[in-house]
């Protein structure tokens, strides 16, 4: 299957999707969800394994900021990376949610966004 044929198949799977998928490029994934950038607009989308495509971040810069914030807070929610201060998963999740809403409000408007799944994993010490 060619790259164009692959996106044609995705477009056919979601016929009512309002996004033009012809200029999408796969960046990677978050868990089982594909992360895609629209090369024409710079908007980052997510295609969940079990849901319809949705906006993930308003730009690649915003995506990078979110990923950096997660790594910066890792000692507060990942026991293997924790410091002498210990873990505080609730505090980490609350802080991350605040930072994410400040940095890219549109990314946090959709309650089905993969970012809320990520924050749930942060709260549960990466178990769930």
- 59-75 pLDDT, tens per residue? 999 999 999 999 999 99
The helix (H) or strand (E) run that includes residue 36 is strand 33-38
For position 17, what pLDDT does the model report? 64
For position 125, what pLDDT does the model report? 80
For position 119, what pLDDT does the model report? 96
H helices of 28-88, where? 60-77
Other residues' Cβ atoms within 10 Å of the Cβ of residue 113: 19
Taking a C-beta distance cutoff of 8 angstroms, is the pair 89, 70 a contact?
A: no
For position 1, what pLDDT does the model report? 47
Buried residues in 75-85 as b, exposed as e (16+ CB within 10 A): bbbbeeeeeee
Run means of pLDDT, 10 residues per run, the chain, 128 residues: 59 66 84 89 90 91 97 90 82 97 97 93 81
């Amino acid at each position: 299957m060619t790259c164009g044929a692959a996106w044609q198949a995705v477009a056919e799977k979601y016929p009512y999707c309002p996004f033009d998928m012809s200029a999408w490029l796969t960046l990677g994934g978050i868990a089982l969800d594909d992360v895609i950038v629209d090369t024409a607009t710079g908007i980052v989308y997510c295609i969940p394994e079990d849901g319809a495509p949705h906006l993930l971040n308003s730009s690649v810069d915003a995506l990078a900021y979110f990923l950096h914030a997660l790594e910066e807070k890792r000692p507060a929610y990942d026991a293997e990376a924790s410091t002498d201060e210990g873990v505080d998963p609730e505090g980490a999740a609350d802080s991350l949610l605040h930072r994410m809403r400040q940095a890219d409000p549109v990314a946090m408007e959709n309650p089905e966004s993969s970012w809320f799944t990520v924050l749930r994993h942060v709260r549960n010490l990466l178990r769930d």
